[in-house]
Amino acid sequence: MRENDIKDRAILANSNSPHVKLKATNFGDCQWTEGFWADKTNTAIKTMIPYMGNVLCGDVGHALNNFKIAAGLKTGKHQGMYWHDGDFYKFMEAKIYAYGLTKDEALLHELDEYIAILAQAQEPDGYLQTQIQLNVEEGAERYANRKYHEMYNTGHLLITSCLHYRITGQRNLLDLAIKHADLLYTIFFPDTKHYQRFGFNQTQIMGLVELYRAIGDKKYLELAQKFIDRRGTYEIEHDSTTVGYPIGDMVQERTPLREETNPVGHAVLALYYYAGAADVYAETGEKALITALDRLWESVTQKKMYATGAVGQTHYGASVNRDMIEEGFIDDYMMPNLTAYNETCANLCNAMFSFRLLGIHGQAKYADIIELVMYNSALSGISLSGTEYFYANPLRMIHGTRDYDSHADVTETPNREGYLACFCCPPNIVRTIANLSGWAYSLADNGVYVNLYGSNQLATQQVDGSSIKLTQETQYPWKGTIKLTIDECKSEAFDIALRIPNWATSAGLSVNGEPVDVATRPGTYAMVNRNWKAGDVIVLDLPMTPTFIEGHPRIEEVRNQVAVKRGPIVYCIESPDLPDGTEILDVYIDGNTELVAKHDNAFLGGVTTLEADLLLRPVPKDDMYRSVSKPEWEKLTTKLVPYYAWSNRGTAEMTVFMPVVW
C-alpha cells in the first residue's frame, strides 16, 4: 500500500473522530511558499534534519548506535539518556515530514535503513527498549522502574510509526509498532497492582490512540484510557518501581485526572498526559474528561504561562501539594524571569495540547496559544542556523547568576549548544517546524478554518469530499495584511473562518475589495459564509502596532515592568545593542517612547526590530539594600529584537521585561 491509498494522512488522524469539531488537513495538502515559515521549513529540511542525522547517527549522539548494538550489528554499550530511543523516533518523524513535503525518495531510503535496524533490534515478543536490552544498569529489568522511560520511548515509536504509515503508505515501521503495542496490552491491560503506578512520561497514550486510528483495533484505545483511569487511584509512596525519581505530583499521580484542578509536576509530563487524554476524549466523548482538560488548560494559560507562551517555571521546586518536582509547574502567578526554566519541550507541548483542544472546541483562543508559542518560546530553543539548541528558555539572562557548570546533563547553558546530552528538545522543535504546515488550516463540517498565517497554498478536500484550493499571500508576522485567493471550490455556499488574534484590535476584512459585515472581535474566528467562486479574494488587515504589555498584578516578578509586543512577536533588549559595559540590570524603558518598526532583511535572518528610547541608570550591585535618591537618567535610543532571535550574536545578556519610567 502506498500513500494514495490512505485517506487520512493528517498529523492527528481525527477525520473520523466523533467528538472533534475541526478536522486536521492531510499532511502535505498545505505547503508554505515563501516568507517566515517557508524559510524555517526550508532550513529544517536542508540544515536541521541533516545536521541532527549526523549527530544521532554518528558517535556524538548515540541513538542509532544503541539500536545497532541491540540488533547485533555493532559491539558496545548503551550510551545517552534512558529516553534516547525516543529522541531518535522524533528525528525519524521530522524526516517523515520532510518526505511528505518534498517526496524525496532519498529520505524514504534512509528511513527504510533505520527501520531495518529497528526490526533486527526488536525482540521476538515485540519488546524494543535499548536502554534495558543493553543492560544500561545492573539489574535493569523490563517495566521494573519508571525512571527508564519505557513508556515515553513507546509513545514516540507508536506516533512515528503511524505517521510513517500515513505519509509513506508503507507498513514496515507500523508492523513493528503493532507488535510492540500488543505486548504492552498483554502486560498493562490486566489490573495488576505492580503496574498500577507505572509510567513516567506518558506519551504512550497519544501513541495508542493514533494506532487505534490507524488500524481500527479498539483495544489500543481501551488501553490508552486505562492508563488515564489508573492515575491517582492508589496510595502514594516509594516502591521498587519508583526508585531514583520523584513521586506524587511530579508524575501526576496524586489526584485522578478528572478531579485535578491545578496543573502540577513536570510540565512536559503533564502536558503530554493532557494531550493524550484529549485524544481519548476525541474518540469517547466522556464529559468528565473534557471538563477536567478545559479546567487545566485555563489554569496553565491564565495562571502559569509566560508572555512568550513558555511553561514550566522552575528547574527544582515543590508542587502545590509540596511534592518535590523538577522542570515544572509551581504556584499560580509565581513567574521568575531570571531562573525561569521553560524547557523547549514543555513550550512545544503547550502548543500540542492547544492544537488538540482547537480541534475539539473550534475556538480561536487555542490557536492564539499555538501562534504565541511558535513565534516565541519554541523558536528560541533553536539557533537561526538550525544547528544549536537551548533546553531552558529564561526571560532574562544576566551573566554570573546561574551556575551552569553544576548541571551535568547540560540542560542549562549560557549559549545554545550543538549537542545536548539530554537531547529530547532538539528533535522536538525540528519535527514541529517541519510539520507546522499541517496546523495552518482545519476543516469544519461546511468550511475551512484559517488557524495560522503565512504564505502558502492549500489543495485539499472539504469534509463533504469537495475540492478546495486556496492561495495565501502575506509578509506576516512582519506585516499584518493577509490576502487569501480562492483558486477552486464547490458552487454551494460554505464558510471560510479567519482567526482574529487576541492582540488584533480593529481588524479589517474585505471580499473582492468590499468590506464585509462580519464581526472581527479579537480572539475569535471571523466567519464569512457565501457562494464562493474561483478568483474571489479575501483581505484581512491586522494592525501591527507595537504595544507595552504588563503582567497580572499578582506576578510580583514583573510589577512596575513592561514587555513589548508587536503582532505575535515578543521583543527583548539584548546587550549587543547597549553601550559597552552596560548591564541589563541598568536598563529601564521610557514609557513615553515611540516604538518604531524597522525591517532589516540582513539582520538576524531578516527581522523587524523596534527602535525605542531606553533610560540607563548604572547602580552599585554590591549591597543587598541601599538608600536611594532621585535617579539621574542617561537616555539611549536603540533597538529591541524578537525574543526568539536572541543569543545569535555571541554571549549576551537579555531581558524581556524592563522596569518602566513614565
Residue 139 to residue 80: CA distance in whole angstroms: 18
Q: What are the cell numbers at 505?
A: 484590535
Three-class DSSP category at 230: helix
Q: What is the pLDDT of residues 469-498, one digit of tens each?
A: 999 999 999 999 999 999 999 999 999 999
Task: For residues 514 and 643, state if they share a domain.
Answer: no
pLDDT band at residue 406, thresholds of 50, 70 and 90? Answer: low
Task: For residues 224 and 250, state if they share a domain.
Answer: no
Task: For residues 325 and 250, state if they share a domain.
Answer: yes
CA distances from 449 to 480, 499, 512, 526 (A): 18, 8, 19, 9
Closest CA to 397 of 223, 181, 653, 206: 653
Q: How far apart are the first and last CA of the chain?
A: 66
**Which one of 541, 559, 582 terminates a domain?**
541
Residue 276 to residue 369: CA distance in whole angstroms: 18
Asked whether residue 13 is assigned to any structural domain, the reply reads: no
Closest CA to 540 of 569, 505, 503, 511: 511
Question: What's the total number of domains in the chain?
Answer: 4
Instruction: Name the DSSP class of 406.
Output: G
pLDDT band at residue 110, thresholds of 50, 70 and 90? Answer: very high
β-partners of residue 638 are: 612
β-partners of residue 317 are: 325
Q: What is the pLDDT of residues 270-311, one digit of tens each?
A: 999 999 999 999 999 999 999 999 999 999 999 999 999 999
Asked whether residue 551 is assigned to any structural domain, the reply reads: yes
Residue 317 to residue 323: CA distance in whole angstroms: 8
Q: What are the cell numbers at 100?
A: 511528505
Three-class DSSP category at 94: helix
Asked whether residue 273 is assigned to any structural domain, the reply reads: yes
pLDDT, position 409: 52
Asked whether residue 16 is assigned to any structural domain, the reply reads: no
Task: For residues 280 and 299, state if they share a domain.
Answer: yes
Read off the amino acid at residue 66: N
User: Could you count the other beta carbons within 10 Å of the beta carbon of residue 626?
Assistant: 8
pLDDT, position 496: 98
135 has pLDDT over 90:
no
β-partners of residue 538 are: 484, 511
pLDDT, position 413: 82
Q: What are the cell numbers at 73?
A: 550489528
Asked whether residue 52 is assigned to any structural domain, the reply reads: yes
1 has pLDDT over 80:
no
pLDDT, position 5: 63
**Which one of 401, 419, 438 terminates a domain?**
438
340 has pLDDT over 70:
yes
pLDDT, position 4: 52
Rg for the chain, CA atoms, rounded = 25
Task: For residues 71 and 187, state if they share a domain.
Answer: yes
Residue 527 to residue 22: CA distance in whole angstroms: 14
587 has pLDDT over 90:
yes
pLDDT band at residue 408, thresholds of 50, 70 and 90? Answer: very low
Q: What is the pLDDT of residues 381-391, one digit of tens each?
A: 999 999 999 99
Residue 527 to residue 509: CA distance in whole angstroms: 11
Task: For residues 134 and 230, state if they share a domain.
Answer: yes
CA distances from 157 to 129, 204, 211 (A): 10, 9, 10
Burial of 265 (0-12, 13-18, 19+ CB in 10 A): buried
Task: For residues 235 and 251, state if they share a domain.
Answer: no
Place of cell 522511560: 149
Residue 411 to residue 304: CA distance in whole angstroms: 21
Closest CA to 214 of 278, 273, 272, 170: 170
Residue 431 to residue 437: CA distance in whole angstroms: 11
Contacting residues for 346 by C-beta, under 8 A, at least 6 apart: 267, 268, 271, 310, 311, 312, 327
Q: What is the pLDDT of residues 464-473, one digit of tens each?
A: 999 999 999 9
Region 397-424: what's the mean pLDDT? 78
Task: For residues 274 and 139, state if they share a domain.
Answer: no
Three-class DSSP category at 202: coil
Region 39-65: what's the mean pLDDT? 97
403 has pLDDT over 70:
no
Q: What is the pLDDT of residues 206-243, one digit of tens each?
A: 999 999 999 999 999 999 999 999 999 888 888 888 88
pLDDT, position 518: 97
Task: For residues 250 and 227, state if they share a domain.
Answer: no
Asked whether residue 29 is assigned to any structural domain, the reply reads: no
**Which one of 485, 506, 541 terminates a domain?**
541
**Summary mean pLDDT of the chain:** 95
**487 is in which domain, residue-wise?**
441-541
Contact 275, 356 (CB under 8 A): yes
Residue 191 to residue 195: CA distance in whole angstroms: 8
Asked whether residue 229 is assigned to any structural domain, the reply reads: yes
Asked whether residue 146 is assigned to any structural domain, the reply reads: yes
Residue 646 to residue 384: CA distance in whole angstroms: 9
Task: For residues 271 and 353, state if they share a domain.
Answer: yes
pLDDT, position 522: 98
Residue 596 to residue 31: CA distance in whole angstroms: 32
HEC string for 312-362: CCEEEEECCCCCEEEEECCCCCCCCCCCCCCCHHHHHHHHHHHHHHHHHHC
585 has pLDDT over 60:
yes
pLDDT, position 221: 98
Task: For residues 269 and 369, state if they share a domain.
Answer: yes
pTM: 0.97
pLDDT, position 2: 46
Task: For residues 238 and 279, state if they share a domain.
Answer: no
